[in-house]
């Protein structure tokens, strides 16, 4: 029997995502000036206020208030009527030094023997249903909001848009788990008050369907475009007008959108958030490494869909377990346990090895903090960081290294593919 599956995404202007981006901007600045920094930064945003908290061990000092303001302005909160602006909000810093009890479990004389920064389990997932090996409903949800942000910044066709938004996509699958059609699209977008309520809602829905969706479709391959049809159910700002939004409408916290950040409800999640954490925290680094494993295994043809779990004990170097689930889609004559053993021999999952392989001690994290940490295109960019205490530094860094298909040939050889 056919079934429906739904995923959602949120925009960079969503309160929780503002918090994530501020936390990752702080992390990037710490790592830019001191790559050995240990950072766990949390952010809270609400009407006119930003609160920064967390633990840091670093040889550098930052103007954290100014960094937070720059992020908020870049997102687009620059107007007084939003009741939240980077130029006028209060910024309170409660950041303090990292606990020595935690640090002693992580640092070692030999970096190769670095222990995990926490216990827990992390998951990576990949599927062949999209070109970037991501679940389709989540991929489309992300693209809807990225295009919506583009339209907002262009300020021509939809000049009433404000930064806060959410999108949700429901897809019908066949019994063979193949996408058949898009059933429902939900978009809630913050906007200026430009007319009476009924006229505003009618105009916004018309523009979403006739301007936004066609631009989203153009980003997708023909096989996915064919899933769009005239029978899609659209729910556009279904509660009515959405003028009050952002941190004025809803308090935002770092780490409250972990399913948006990963696989949209597909696969599994270990529960740990990413943003604001340096790579000694395996919540983040091992989740990236598990995605790297899953994506390369699927791309090599080991299976059409793969979930990888890795787990750790705080302060212990070697993972406590590595698990693989192919959902019965394996293309090799091996059990999932045997696939896991081979994967463990191909990918070194010790914390320092992950940091080195994926180049995670670089300031690469602000770009991860909106529209998903997984599924983006690896790229090399030059980033500039300025500090009243440390001067100016420019660094060339690789973004989204865990998305590289750099182990495919090695995997094929190991699995005789």
Q: How far apart are the C-alpha atoms of 306 and 37, rounded to whole Å? A: 33
| pLDDT for the residue 202 | 96
Q: Are 261 and 123 in contact (CB under 8 A)?
A: no
> CA-to-CA distance for 132 and 49, rounded, in angstroms?
38
The tens digit of pLDDT for each residue in 50-93 reads 999 999 999 999 999 999 999 999 999 998 889 898 999 999 99
Distance from C-alpha of 9 to C-alpha of 257, rounded to nearest angstrom: 9
Length of the chain: 417
How far is 371 from 245, CA to CA, in rounded Å?
A: 19
**Gap between the Cα atoms of 382 and 287, Å rounded:** 25
- State the pLDDT at residue 98: 63
Domains of the chain: 3-8+136-244 (3.30.300.10), 120-128+279-414 (3.30.300.10)
What is the reported pLDDT for 216?
Answer: 98
What is the distance between the alpha carbons of residues 247 and 244, in angstroms, rounded to a whole number? 9
3-state secondary structure (DSSP) of residue 354? helix
**Cα–Cα distance, 105 to 138 (Å, whole number):** 37
Look at residue 100 and tell me whether its pLDDT is greater than 70.
no
The pLDDT of residue 111 is above 80: no
User: What average pLDDT does this structure show over 376-394?
Assistant: 93
Over 80: is that where the pLDDT of 108 sits?
Answer: no
Residue 101: pLDDT band (50, 70, 90) is very low
Q: With contact defined as beta carbons under 8 Å apart, do 124 and 307 qualify?
A: yes
Q: Which residues contact 223 (CB under 8 A, 6 or more apart)?
A: none
Specify whether the CB–CB gap between 309 and 286 falls below 8 A: no
User: What span, in angstroms and rounded, lies between the C-alpha atoms of 191 and 202?
Assistant: 13
Residue 300: the pLDDT is 98
Q: Is the pLDDT of residue 107 over 60?
A: no
Query: CB within 8 A of 110, min separation 6: which ones?
Result: none
243 has a pLDDT exceeding 80: yes
273 is in an annotated binding site: yes
256 annotated as ligand-binding:
yes
281 is in an annotated binding site: yes
b or e along 110-148 (b: 16 or more beta carbons within 10 Å of the residue's beta carbon)? Answer: eeeebbbbbebbbbbbbbebbeebbbbbbbbbbbbbbbb
Question: What is the signed CA dihedral for 224, 226, 231, 237, rounded to 10 degrees?
Answer: 30
Q: Which two tokens stand for residue 330?
A: 């394996």
305 is in an annotated binding site: no
Please tell me whether 42 is known to bind a ligand: yes
98 in a known ligand binding site: yes
pLDDT at residue 116 is higher than 60? yes
pLDDT tens digits, residue range 295-349? 999 999 999 999 999 999 998 899 999 999 999 999 999 999 999 999 999 999 9
Q: Is 101 annotated as a binding residue?
A: no
Annotated binding residue 14: yes
pLDDT at 380 over 70: yes
Is 250 annotated as a binding-site member?
yes
pLDDT averaged over every residue in the chain: 94
Q: Rounded to whole angstroms, how far apart are CA atoms 362 and 161? A: 34
What pLDDT score was predicted for residue 112?
63
pLDDT tens-place string over residues 184-236: 999 999 999 999 999 999 999 999 999 999 999 999 999 999 999 999 999 99
Is the separation of the CB atoms in 402 and 289 below 8 Å?
yes
241 is in an annotated binding site: yes
Query: Which pLDDT score is estimated for 113?
Result: 66
What confidence score (pLDDT) does residue 58 get? Answer: 92
Residue-level pLDDT at 390: 86
Helix/strand/coil (H/E/C) assignment for every residue in 3-28? EEEEEEEECCCCHHHHHHHHHHHHHH
Please check if 330 is assigned to a binding site. Answer: no
User: Of 276, 278, 249, 244, nearest to 45 (Cα)?
Assistant: 249
Q: What is the mean pLDDT of residues 355-366?
A: 97
Average pLDDT over every residue of 367-371: 98
Q: Residues 129-142: what's their mean pLDDT?
A: 97
- Identify which of 171, 127, 91 has the alpha carbon closest to the alpha carbon of residue 294: 127
Q: Is 392 labelled as part of a ligand binding site?
A: no
The model's pLDDT over 253-262, given as tens digits with 9 standing for 90+, comes to 999 999 999 9
333 annotated ligand-binding residue: no
Residue 413: per-residue pLDDT = 97
Residue percentage of the chain with pLDDT more than 70 = 96
């Amino acid at each position: 029997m056919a079934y429906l599956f739904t995923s959602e995404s949120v925009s960079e202007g969503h309160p929780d995502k503002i918090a994530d981006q501020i936390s990752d901007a702080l992390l990037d600045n710490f790592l830019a000036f001191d790559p050995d920094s240990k950072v766990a930064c949390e952010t809270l945003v609400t009407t006119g206020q930003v609160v920064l908290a967390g633990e840091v061990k670093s040889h550098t000092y930052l103007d954290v208030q100014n960094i937070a303001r720059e992020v908020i302005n870049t997102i687009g909160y620059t107007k007084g009527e939003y009741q939240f602006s980077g130029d006028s909000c209060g910024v309170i810093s409660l950041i303090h030094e990292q606990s020595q009890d935690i640090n002693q479990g992580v640092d070692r004389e030999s970096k190769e023997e670095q222990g995990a920064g926490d216990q827990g389990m992390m998951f990576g997932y990949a599927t062949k249903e999209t070109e970037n090996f991501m679940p389709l409903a989540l991929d489309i949800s992300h693209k809807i909001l990225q295009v919506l942000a583009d339209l907002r910044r262009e300020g021509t066709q939809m000049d009433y848009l404000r930064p806060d938004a959410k999108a949700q996509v429901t897809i019908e699958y066949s019994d063979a788990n193949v996408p058949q059609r898009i059933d429902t699209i939900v978009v809630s977008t913050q906007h200026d008050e430009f007319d009476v309520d009924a006229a505003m809602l009618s105009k916004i829905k018309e523009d979403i369907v006739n301007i936004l969706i066609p631009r989203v479709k153009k980003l997708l391959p023909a096989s996915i475009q064919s899933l769009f049809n005239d029978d899609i159910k659209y729910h556009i700002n279904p509660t009515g007008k959405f003028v009050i939004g952002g941190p004025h409408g809803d308090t935002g916290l770092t780490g409250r959108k972990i399913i948006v950040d990963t696989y949209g409800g597909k696969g599994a999640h270990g529960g740990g958030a990413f943003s604001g954490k340096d790579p000694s925290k395996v919540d983040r680094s091992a989740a990236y490494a598990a995605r790297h494993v899953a994506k390369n295994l699927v791309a090599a043809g080991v299976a059409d869909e793969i979930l990888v779990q890795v787990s750790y004990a705080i302060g212990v170097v070697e993972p406590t377990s590595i698990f693989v689930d192919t959902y019965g889609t394996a293309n090799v004559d091996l059990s999932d346990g045997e696939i896991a053993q081979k994967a463990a021999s191909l990918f070194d999952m010790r914390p320092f090895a992950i940091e080195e392989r994926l180049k995670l001690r670089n300031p690469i994290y602000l770009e991860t903090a909106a529209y998903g940490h997984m599924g983006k295109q690896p790229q090399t960019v030059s980033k500039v960081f300025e500090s009243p205490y440390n001067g100016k530094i420019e660094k060339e860094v690789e973004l989204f290294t865990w998305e590289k298909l750099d182990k495919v040939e090695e995997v094929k050889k190991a699995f005789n593919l």
